[in-house]
Amino acid sequence: MGFSLTSFIFEIANFLVLMWILNRLVFKPLKKGVQQRRDELKRQEDELAAALLDTREREAGAEALRRDIESLRDEVLREATHRASEERARLLAQAREDADAERARARRMLSVEREAAANWVRELAVEHGAQIAGRMLMEISPDGADTAIFERLLEEVERRRDELRATGAEEVEATFAHLPSSESVGRLRHALAACLEQPPHMVLRDDEGLIAGVVLRVGHLVLDASILGQLDVFRDRVRGLLEQEARVA
C-alpha cells in the first residue's frame, strides 16, 4: 500500500475538522466551565476571607468592648467603694455628733433635774424652817406674841406718820390673828388719827392664818406686823442665802 497525498490531505483535513469540532463543542465549554469554577472558587475564597476578616474585626471589637466594660466596671466599683466609704464616714461622724448631742442633752437634763431637786429641797427646808420657827415662837410666848407685835405696830405707825398721812385714807382695815381688846383697838385708832389728822373708820377682821399679830391696810399702804408676814420675809432671806450658796458651790 503506497503513500497517498490526497488521502493524507483528507486525513489532515478530517483531523483539523475534528479538532475544531472538539474545541468548539468540548474544549471551549470545558475550559469555560473550569474557568467559571475557578472564578467561583476564587469568589468563595474572597468571601470567606472577607468573612474571616470581618469575624476577626468583630472579635477585636468585642474584645475591645469587653475591656472597656471591664474598665468601666472597675471604675464604677472604685467610685461606688469610694462613695460608700465617704457615706460610711459621714454616717459615723453624724452618729458621733448625735451621740455627743444626746450626751450633752442628757447632761443638761440631769443638771436641770439636779437643780430642780436642789430647789425643791431648799424650798422644803425653807418652808419647814419657817413653820418650825413660827411654832417655836408661839410655844415660847403664845400670849405675849400678839402683845409684843401690837406694840411694835404702834411704833411703826408713829415712824411712818408722813407716809400714812400722804395716803389721805379715811378707812383703815386691820386684820388680826386674834381680835384684840377694845382698849387695844382704841390705842390703834388714836395713833392712826394722829397720823391721818382725823379719826379713821376702822374695819376689823380676824385671820388665824396670820398665827399672831396684825396686817394694817391704810389706802395703798400695807403694814404687815404678823408672824406669817415675818415668816415670809424669813423665807425670802433664807431662800436667797441658799441660792447664793448654791451659786458659789
d(CA 146, CA 152): 10
CB atoms within 10 A of CB 112: 10
With a CB cutoff of 8 Å and minimum separation 6, the contacts of 202 are 171, 172, 174, 185, 188, 189
What percentage of the chain reaches a pLDDT higher than 90? 0
d(CA 177, CA 213): 6
pLDDT digits (tens, 9 = 90+) for 73-124: 888 888 888 888 888 888 888 888 888 888 888 788 877 777 766 666 665 5
Are 154 and 183 in contact by the 8 Å Cβ rule? The answer is: no
The edge-to-edge listing of strands for the beta sheet with 171-176 is 201-206, 171-176, 213-218, 221-226
pTM of the model: 0.40
**Higher per-residue confidence, 30 vs 215:** 215
d(CA 126, CA 231): 10
Are 134 and 231 in contact by the 8 Å Cβ rule? The answer is: yes
- Whole-number Cα distances in Å, 142 to 145, 209, 248: 6, 15, 39
Q: Is the pLDDT of residue 140 over 50?
A: no
| Range from 148-152, 203-207, 229-233 that averages highest in pLDDT | 203-207
Domain ranges of the chain: 6-109, 141-248
Average pLDDT value for residue range 13-39: 81
**Higher per-residue confidence, 249 vs 176:** 176
Task: Give the fold, CATH level 3, of 141-248.
Answer: hypothetical protein PF0899 fold (3.30.2320)
Q: Is the pLDDT of residue 68 over 60?
A: yes
pLDDT digits (tens, 9 = 90+) for 223-232: 887 777 666 6
